[in-house]
């Protein structure tokens, strides 16, 4: 298969964007769990923990 720099750049951009979206979703999930622990003080965090 011949090398295609334009396609390579485009796929690298998509890969990088997807990685950042995943990082943001994980951060939001962690912050939401901490909100249940600190602000709401409900048992949701206890059910998520070991």
Show the low-confidence residues of the chain (pLDDT under 70): none
In this prediction, residue 43 carries a pLDDT of 86
Q: Which residues contact 36 (CB under 8 A, 6 or more apart)?
A: 42, 44, 45
Cβ contact 38:30 at 8 Å: no
The SS3 call for residue 50 is coil
Maximum pairwise Cα distance, the chain? 58
In this prediction, residue 11 carries a pLDDT of 96
Q: Which residues contact 44 (CB under 8 A, 6 or more apart)?
A: 33, 36
In this prediction, residue 47 carries a pLDDT of 85
Question: How many Å apart are CA 32 and CA 37, to the nearest integer?
Answer: 9
pTM: 0.75
């Amino acid at each position: 298969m011949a090398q295609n720099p334009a396609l390579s750049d485009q796929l690298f951009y998509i890969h990088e964007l997807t990685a950042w979206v995943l990082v943001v979703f994980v951060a939001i999930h962690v912050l939401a769990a901490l909100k249940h622990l600190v602000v709401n003080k409900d048992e949701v965090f206890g059910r998520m923990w070991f």
